[in-house]
Amino acid sequence: MTMTAEIIQICSFLGAGIGVGIASVTSGVGTGIIADQANIALMKQPKAYDKLFSTMLIGQAATGTGGIFSLVVALLLLFGGFEQGVVHIHRAAAMLAAGLAVGLGAVGPALGAGYSGGEACRSIGRMPRQGNIIMGNMLIGQALSQSSSIFALVVSLLLIFSTPMAIEDPTAARLIQKFIAYLGSGLAIGLGTLGPGAGIGFVAGKANDAIGRFPRERAKVIRTMFLGAAVSESTAIYALVVSFLLIFAVG
């Protein structure tokens, strides 16, 4: 079953809109959380303005990572010209799934990174002398949280560039099988990163809070943070593996 260029474009446009829309909402919420806590901390510690301001900006930049990924994928879907030549229906699913993957994949990491950044600002407001240490821990936590959005980006790019334009023996059953497999791949990684991204950010945020309260216990807090983040991240890896299998092994 071949498809016209217009149908492929419709699915590409829909994937681009869904992806960048969902990612922008959550990235905006995450960055707003950081600014909120920075302002509250500034009222308590006006002399720590420079440290709070730099922590806020760096934290917001890290929180917007998923939004940037979604923008890149949206531009590829809009202007990639993937509708050229003989195209089967499974390509429509791949384009739509790419947008779903990168959009949903930004939700958990953005909220988690926003919470981590917000707690870092609040902790600096309580203990300005530990500002550099807290900001460093915030960046580590946000990087761990955003790894899930990188997984989503990888799957999205594979859906765009690694799925064939046409397949051999394009029976209706085989095309439907591929259609569902690609759509399932995007949903698997998109939904599979919600918990890990948010959970790791929550762990990092509480670690930032603990360092501000008990700076002498920093080493123990960081070790606990890494262990908790590693366990939480494991489920995102499961989702990544299933997404790969749905793209390359099914059918």
Per-residue pLDDT of the chain (251 residues; tens, 9 = 90+): 555 677 888 889 999 999 999 999 999 999 999 999 999 999 989 999 999 999 999 999 999 999 999 999 999 999 887 656 566 778 888 999 999 999 999 999 999 999 999 999 999 999 999 999 999 999 999 999 999 999 999 999 999 998 877 777 777 788 888 889 999 999 999 999 999 999 999 999 999 999 999 999 999 999 999 999 999 999 999 999 999 999 998 75
Domains and CATH numbers, the chain: 5-248 (1.20.120.610)
Cα–Cα dist 140/222, whole Å: 10
Cβ partners under 8 Å of residue 158, min gap 6: 244, 247
Confidence (pLDDT) at 198: 95
Nearest one of 156, 29, 53, 44 to 103, comparing CA atoms: 156
Asked whether 19 and 70 are in contact (CB, 8 A), the reply is yes
Q: Is 85 left (phi over 0), alpha (psi -120 to 50) or beta?
A: left
How many alpha carbons lie under 13 Å from residue 192 in its C-beta half-sphere? 24
